[in-house]
Chain A
Amino acid sequence: MDKILEVKNLHVDFDTYNGVVHAIRGVDFHLNAGETLAIVGESGSGKSITVRSILQLLAKNGTISQGEVLYHGDDLLQRSDKEMDKLRGNKISMIFQDPMTSLDPTMTIGKQVAEPLLIHNNVSKKDALKRAEEVLRLVGIPNPKARMNDYPHQFSGGQRQRIVIAIAIVNYPEILIADEPTTALDVTVQAQIIDLLKELQQKIGTSIIFITHDLGVVAGIADRVAVMYAGRLVEYGSVNDVFYNPQHPYTWGLLDSMPTLDTSESDRLNSIPGTPPNLLNPPKGDAFAPRNAYAMAIDEEEQPPFFKVSKHHYAATWLLHPDAPKVTPPASILKRYEKFKTLGGNVENV
C-alpha cells in the first residue's frame, strides 16, 4: 500500500497567557491511499491540532516545534504559506466541525463552492459555477440550480454540512480531512453525512482522515483507527484490532463508555473518571497514569514506547512489557476479546 501522507514526531506548542501549552507531544501516523483513518479521543486530546498541522492552519499563537509532515515523501513543513496555498483546497482539503459557522454568511453558496475551482484551476467563472452546481447535486442538495444564489442562513444544518463537503471535494482532493463533520448534527443526519462521505470516497477515490470523539461513528466508516490522549497517540490499528483487541487502558475506558449493539441493557456504561492532564506541564510518564486503574510505578516515570501487538496494531502501554503483571481488563473488554476470536484474531499478551 502507498503511504500518501506520513506524520512523524509532530510537536505543537501554543503560546498562551499562562505559559506554553504542549498540545501535541510527538505524534506519528500515516495515511494509505484510498483508506479512511479515524482519529478518536476525548475533547482536547489534540485531534484537531494534529490535522490542522498538516495544512499548517494553526492559530497565530501556535507553532509546530518539531516533526515532519511528508506528503508523497515531501516535507510540507518546509513549504512557505504561499506554497501551501496551492495545496489547500486542491490536493488536501478540510471539512470543519460546525456547519452553522463554517460558511461565509454574506456570500452566495454558489460562489463559495466555486471558489476553490477558481483559485486552483484556470477556469472561467461561468464554468466554475456550473461545476459547483454539479457538485452540489452530487452531495445531495435538492434543486441546486435554483439554490446557487441563496445564502447559508437559508439552509438547514445538514444541508450546510453538505455544502461544506461540496466545497472540500470540488477539486477532487487526494486527501480529505474531516474534523468531526457530524458532531453538530442530529443522529439521522449524521448517518446520512457518513454515507455521503463513503459514497464520495468510492466515486472520487479520496483518502480520508476522519476525526471524531464518537467511537460509534468509527466502525461505520474507518479502515484504521488511531486513539489519541493528551497530545499523543496511545494505540492504533485496524478497526477490528482497536475495537475487539484493545490493549491500552485508555482505549478500554473509551470502549467501555460506548454503547454497542452487543451491550445489553444490564451492562453499565462507564465513563473514565478524572480529567486529562494540564498540558502546560505535561507529565513525565504516561499522561493517562493518574486516571489509570492499572497504573504501575513506571507509568509515572517514563513514557511507554509503542509495543507491537500484531502486524499493524501497536499500543503505547507498559502493560505490554514482558515484565508487566498480567491484568484483567474490564468485563466488557473481555467480551470484545471473545468476539475478536470469532473474527479470527488471536488474543496475545493478555
Chain B
Amino acid sequence: MAKYILKRILYLFLTLFIIATITFFMMKMLPGTPFSNENRMSAEQLKIVKAQYGLDQSVFVQYVRYIGGLLQGNLGTSFQFNNEPVTALIGQRIVPSMQIGAQAMVVGTIGGILLGAIAAIRKNTWVDTLATFISILGLSIPSFVLAVLLQFYLAYKWKIYPVALWDNFQSSVLPTLALSALPLGTVARFMRTEMVDVLSSDYIELAKSKGNSNWKVVTKHALRNSLIPVVTIIGPMAVSVMTGSMVVENIFSIPGIGEQFVKSITTNDYPTIMGLTIFYSFLLIIVYLIVDILYGLIDPRIRLGNGGKE
C-alpha cells in the first residue's frame, strides 16, 4: 500500500508537470496580450511593461522561469488586480469557494446516498420512480439554470435568502443547493444501481436466511457493501462541483476562485488563468488520490491484497 501511494504521488507530480507545460505553451500561442486592448499605452510604455513581466525574454527562458517558480509554490502574478501574486488571490478567495464546495459535496453525497438507497429498497414502486425522477432532474438541469431559478424565486421574489451577498451561512444556502443538485443526482443513481445489485446478491440472501430482519439486512450488510463503490465517484463529483462553482459563484457574486477564474478568462488575464488552472488540477488530482487511498482502506479485498477485482 505504501509503495502504491508513493507511486501515485509520483504520478501526481508528473501529471501536474504535464499540465503546467501544456498550459504554459498554450498561453504563449495566444495572439493578443492583455495589454493590446489598452490603446492608451504607447509602444514605449508597452515595452517597459513587458520587461516588467519578463515577456521580452525568449519563450524557453520564460518557461524555465515559470516552472522554477512553480516548484517554489509561485503561481505567477496577475496582470490585473494590482499585480497581485496568484497565490495571494487564491488565499483571499479560497474560503468561500471551499465552503460552498464542501457543503455541496456533503449535501449531495448524503442526500444522494439516502435517495439511492431508498429507491433500491423500494425498487419498482412509486417511491423508486419518484427518487429516480429527482435524481434525473438533479443530473439534467445545469447548475447555472438552477442557480438563476433559485435566486429569482427564493431570494428575489420570496426573500427567504439574500440575493447576492457573501457574509454569513444564510448567504451560502442557495449556492450550495444549486451546486449540490448534480452530485445528488449522480450519487443517487450510482447508489441505487449498486444497492440493487447488492440486494440481489447471494450474501444478502444468506444474511436474510440467518434470521436478520429486513432492516438489519440493509443496515448491517447491504449499505456498507453498496457504499464502498460510491467512494469512487467522489472524484468526478468534485470535478462537477468545481465546474458548477465557476458559474454559480458568478451568479451569486461570491468572491470565490471560480468567479475569479471566469473574470480572468473574460479579461485575458493569462497568468491568473494559468495559475488557477494548475491550482484546480492540483486540487482535483489530490482529491482523486485521497479517494483512491480511502477506497483501498475501506475495502478489505483491496486493503488485504489478492482477490481484488482490478
Contact = CB atoms under 8 A, between A and B. Distances in A.
Quick check: do A and B touch in the complex, using CB within 8 A?
A: yes
Interface of A: 55, 57, 59-60, 81-82, 85-90, 93-94, 96, 98, 101-107, 115-116, 119-120, 150-151, 153-154, 164, 167
Contacts of A55: 209
Given A87-B211, A104-B206, A154-B307, 19 more contacts: A57-B209, A60-B124, A85-B212, A89-B209, A89-B210, A94-B206, A94-B209, A96-B206, A96-B209, A103-B203, A104-B221, A116-B210, A119-B211, A120-B211, A151-B301, A153-B307, A154-B306, A164-B206, A167-B210
Nearest to B201: A101
A102 B201 CA distance: 8
Contact of B203 (A81, A85, A104): A104
Contacts of A102: 202-203, 205-206
Nearest to B123: A60
B225 A105 contact: yes
A81 B212 CA distance: 10
B54 interface: no
Given A151-B300, A167-B206, A106 B225 contact: yes
B228 A106 contact: yes
A119 B307 contact: no
B292 interface: no
A153 B207 CA distance: 17
A154 B209 contact: no
Interface in B199-258: 200-203, 205-214, 216, 221, 224-225, 228
Contacts of B210: 88-89, 93, 115-116, 119, 167
Q: Is the interface of B mostly helix, strand, loop or mixed?
A: helix
In the complex, the 9 A-B pairs of residues with the closest C-beta atoms, listed nearest first: A153-B307, A89-B210, A89-B211, A101-B202, A88-B211, A151-B300, A104-B203, A94-B209, A116-B210
Nearest to A87: B211
Interface residues of B, number: 27
B304 to A, nearest CB: 6
Given A105-B300, A151-B304, A90 B203 contact: no
Contacts of A150: 304
Contact of A96 (B202, B213, B306): B202
A119 B208 CA distance: 11
Given A89-B209, A104-B221, A153 B201 contact: no
A153 B304 CA distance: 9
A153 B211 contact: no
19 contacts: A55-B209, A82-B213, A85-B213, A88-B211, A89-B209, A89-B211, A89-B212, A102-B205, A104-B203, A104-B225, A105-B225, A106-B224, A107-B224, A116-B210, A119-B210, A119-B211, A119-B212, A153-B304, A154-B304
Contact of A103 (B206, B214, B224): B206
Could you say which of A55, A86, A154 has the most chain B C-beta atoms within 10 Å of its C-beta?
A154
